[in-house]
């Protein structure tokens, strides 16, 4: 068994040596101070994050998909980010997929041994018909997860683009990938608990990757989520407010137009701004590859 004590995420944090003797107030202050380190570590990786986003945008523009693979917290955060894309961006659920070692059960109950398999990720990716126009992002905050590295090696063999996310320094024989994102968040307050700063850094990076990639392919206008799926009362209200903001229509008109557009915000905006019936507005949107700004300028 390899000794992992040299890895940053496994080392003891001098600031929290007396954690068990701290007052609640002091512990909260410590957490807040340490969280700032995660933000700073991610900021240093901005160029690598941008390079990763370029790979994802290219995949989306060629009908490819983004797969997150990870174990434990890393896997759960990938599944979380993927699950948020359909309601936020009206994205096909297959477009961004999170795969966690141990399968769906591992989302709710730890399947700790699953991360040690170097071959299972390949099988999990093949079950989703991984293709050369896809991107696989392996998330392993502690760096060494066999499941993740096995999946990345398989993706490389298939011809898919690969991204590796880690919060530890490089180690010998690390799997070669197209882009590495490595925010060095340092030792955790609770030694080895990478759901803390490392998990925060992971969430920050995944937020940026999918949001900016979706913006790049036309799922946003100005800073408004004009491609959201109005699937509940809150989102229906937000959709109507977006339509009102961009068209100056009344709230009643916005709801009626959204109904005529089957809840599609971009379509409703075009119907009111041009104005056009739904079929003609949809044709214009298709001609603009889904970019509302381009459709409005035609």
**Dihedral pair phi/psi, residue 229, rounded to 5°:** -100, 110
Active-site residue identified among 104, 112, 115, 174: 115
- Degrees (nearest 5) of the Cα angle 198, 111, 68? 50
Could you tell me the CA-to-CA distances from 275 to 131, 280, 282, 288 in Å, in that order? 41, 10, 12, 17
Residues forming beta bridges with residue 240, ordered by sequence position: none
Active-site residue identified among 45, 84, 104, 174: 84
Catalytic: 84? yes
Per the CB < 8 A criterion, the answer to whether 227 and 266 are in contact is yes
**Dihedral pair phi/psi, residue 288, rounded to 5°:** -100, 15
The total number of residues written for the chain in this structure = 298
Per the CB < 8 A criterion, the answer to whether 158 and 183 are in contact is no
Q: Which of 180, 119, 196 is nearest to 151 (CA)?
A: 119
Could you tell me the CA-to-CA distances from 7 to 118, 250, 296 in Å, in that order? 20, 58, 52
The span from the CA of 37 to the CA of 46, in Å, is 15
Tell me whether strands 66-70 and 96-100 are parallel, antiparallel or unpaired.
Answer: parallel
Catalytic: 188? no
Catalytic residue numbers read 84, 115
């Amino acid at each position: 068994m390899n000794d992992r004590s040299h890895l940053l995420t496994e080392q003891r944090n001098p600031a929290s040596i007396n954690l068990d003797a701290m007052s609640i107030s002091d512990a909260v202050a410590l957490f807040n101070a340490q969280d700032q380190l995660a933000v700073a570590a991610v900021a240093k990786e901005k160029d690598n994050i941008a390079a990763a986003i370029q790979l994802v945008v290219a995949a989306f523009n060629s009908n490819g998909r983004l797969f997150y693979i990870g174990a434990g917290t890393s896997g759960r955060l990938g599944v979380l980010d993927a699950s948020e894309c359909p309601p936020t961006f009206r994205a096909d659920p297959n477009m961004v997929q999170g795969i966690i070692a141990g399968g769906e059960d591992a989302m709710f109950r730890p399947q700790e041994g699953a991360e040690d398999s170097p071959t299972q990720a390949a099988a999990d990716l093949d079950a989703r018909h991984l293709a050369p126009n896809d991107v696989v992002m392996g998330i392993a905050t502690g760096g060494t997860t066999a499941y993740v590295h096995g999946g990345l090696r398989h993706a490389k063999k298939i011809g898919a683009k690969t991204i590796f996310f880690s919060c530890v320094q490089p180690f010998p024989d690390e799997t070669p990938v197209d882009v590495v994102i490595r925010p060095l968040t340092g030792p955790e307050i609770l030694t080895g608990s990478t759901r803390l700063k490392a998990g925060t850094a992971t969430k920050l990076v995944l937020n940026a990757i999918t949001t900016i990639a979706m913006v790049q392919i036309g799922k946003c206008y100005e800073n408004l989520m004009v491609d959201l799926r109005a699937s509940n009362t809150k989102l229906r209200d937000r959709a109507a407010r977006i339509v009102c903001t961009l068209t100056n229509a009344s709230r009643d008109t916005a709801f009626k137009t959204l109904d005529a557009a089957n809840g599609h915000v971009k379509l409703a905006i075009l119907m009111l701004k041009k104005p056009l019936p739904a079929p003609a507005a949809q044709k214009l949107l298709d001609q603009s590859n889904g970019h509302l700004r381009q459709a409005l300028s035609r």
